Chain A
Amino acid sequence: MTIYHAAVELLLQQPQVSDWPLLQSALRQATGKPPVAWDFPIAGCVAAGAEEQQAIPPVAAITCAHMAILLIDDILDEDPRGKHNEVGAGRAANLAAGLYSLGQHMLDAYPCAHPGLAAAALSQMMGNTAYGQDLDVQNDHSEEGYWAVARAKSSPYFAAALTLGGLYGGASQPLAEQLRQFGALFGEVMQIHDDLNDCLAVPANVDWLQGRAPLPLLFAELVPHPQRERFVALRSQVQQPDALREAQRILVSSGAISYCVNELVLRHQRLQSMLDEMQLVEPGLLQQILDHAIAPIEQLFASVQGNP
């Protein structure tokens, strides 16, 4: 059994779960679908010098948080795949509240050496993410607005996952703070990757269709490049394959993709420096996570190497 499955099993054993069929079924559905970065608490825990089994409670807490974030996000985005379509927005929002509470309960019931710090890490994550989700739906098309949303919405989850893992691995408060900063910056990396992935998708991703401002699209809209007007005109037509293709070509030729790649490279360099500076017992898993994140960029650089 993996640490993730052990964490879900532990969640299912909690009395408040067996008393609430909707919560129980949601957790059962999550068994086969680990959340993104579910292994971050393990990486933090092992890095601090403990066995990975010590990370089961924070993996459980992060799993609950992730499920809650998705429920709320889907309501806000009116996502047709969201649970709210099945049970109604009210019950879905209430389920999210129950999941947040269950995550906190797991940290209380299976405490680490610094229970106050762990509780604060999770509650800050929940509060900051909610703020970020609220900023996001306001759809501010500005460079500053983009980074404000990315830092508020994407960073807290990764930051909390690593911090909690570190705390359950016996990390000191200063090391837990270093792990938090590493996770926060890594959250920005994940957001940029996500934006690149979505913008290059065929057919057009909802980011194009709902007038959202992921990073490459924001660049192509804001920077005064020669094809800017054409790009803005194409944006409303991307449901047509030819228009999408032309708009995506402009993302490449205008420098929008290069800009995002550069932002990823700069963050990767900072993350590597942060990792090198941390006094970790076992940095291997964190290094693997970092290497994995930069792999697509190295692949792209290698791919264009022969170009003029």
Chain B
Amino acid sequence: MPFVAIAYLIFLAAPVLLLFVGSFGEVWSGTLLPSGFTWRWYQEVAGDPSFRRAFTTSLKIVTTTCILNILIGLPLAYAIHAGARGGVRLAARIVTLMPIAVPELVLAFGFILVFSSDALPWLGSFWLLAAGHLVLTLPYTVTALVADMDQLGLAEYEHAAATLGASFPARMWDVTLPQLHTSLLSCMLTVAALSIGEFQLSNLVSGFLSRTYPVVLLQAFYGATGFACAATVVLLGLAMIASLTSGLTARVTGRRKVGAGA
């Protein structure tokens, strides 16, 4: 068993390692490993205006998607948790899970059809792209939050807080939200990871000036191998930064709420 596990890990890590090695290699054609060492490819990626723009766009899209997920996903999950019984709960579940079941490509064509019309001419705008990412990530947030809310037994804490004299907003702020912070943290990690790597929908609905990093990255593979490797390593770094930041943000806000307990 350990052998299988190790072999699988190597299988997983090897391409990433090769990308990393390749991004510093001067020449790489036909051989197993590249030859020479250079920073050139990173400098080229950093100097390329379309890559620079895509990098910032991606960061903005991830941040916006995370914020929208909290603003919309949290109340939605709470409403399902607190209010819905039986049939309504099932319906809410189906609706929230729909975007996962429908292929992204279908969703993207739907967006193109609706938002290229004269009435709603928003195709290619930043906010439409963010909305697309929201639709794709919201199911994960809502599903995870509802499960955690049910499992935490929030109802009893809220009842207790009510009998102690806390109004609905006070109960939310003092009792419900602080208990959900770990849950929110893991949701944001998932959302960030999904959003940063999203390609299918972004490729179809983003405008020329609002392309995300993965969309632009595709073009790198038509050029030099080293450049493609460096550009991909940057995406990896971007994904890690996004995950870490969203994780840290959730943790810090969570802790602040804990501190504000009484």
A joins B in a complex: no
CB within 8 Å of B: which residues of A?
none
